Amino acid sequence: MENLGIGCEITQDRLNQVLTELFPSLNFYYWEMEKDKTVLGEAVLFTLLHNKSEFPIKLDLYGFPKEDVGEREQYIAKQLSIRLACRTIVPYQEEDSTYPYHCVIFDKDRSYLANDNLTL
């Protein structure tokens, strides 16, 4: 599962549009966990949750391959930051590190390593 924070409000339709532009061969479906029991066909599911932080939207994606999750999170976060003109944040953990509070913040074409606790 990929998860990241978005520093601006976004609608499910706009996010679906951006994700489809990034991955044109995939189908994306906004999934409301409490309402949607099953999803027909193959799709990458996404949820948008409100988050009380400087990144007010938490995006979770389900259905991508289990490989390369960190790289995919960073790619999606960077592209969303550029296309939405807002900051995004993703978890980051160095190989062999047990410290869970590093994140990468994307601010359009810039990126920063952050020491973060409980933003995502």
Q: 51 Cβ partners below 8 Å, 6+ apart?
A: 5, 57, 58, 119, 120
Looking up tokens 């995006």 gives 59
- Angstrom CA distances, 56 to 20, 29, 31, 64, 102, stand at 22, 21, 18, 24, 19
The residues spanned by each domain of the chain are 2-115
Instruction: Report residue 82's pLDDT band, with 50, 70 and 90 as the boundaries.
Output: very high
Q: 39 Cβ partners below 8 Å, 6+ apart?
A: 29, 31, 45
Please report the pLDDT score of residue 37 as a whole number. Answer: 63
Q: What is the pLDDT of residues 51-65, one digit of tens each?
A: 888 899 999 999 998
**6 or 101, greater pLDDT:** 6
Q: What is the pLDDT of residues 6-52, one digit of tens each?
A: 999 999 999 999 999 999 999 999 988 667 666 666 889 999 999 88
Q: Is the pLDDT of residue 98 over 90?
A: no
What distance in Å separates the CA atoms of residue 48 and residue 55, rounded to the nearest whole number? Answer: 12
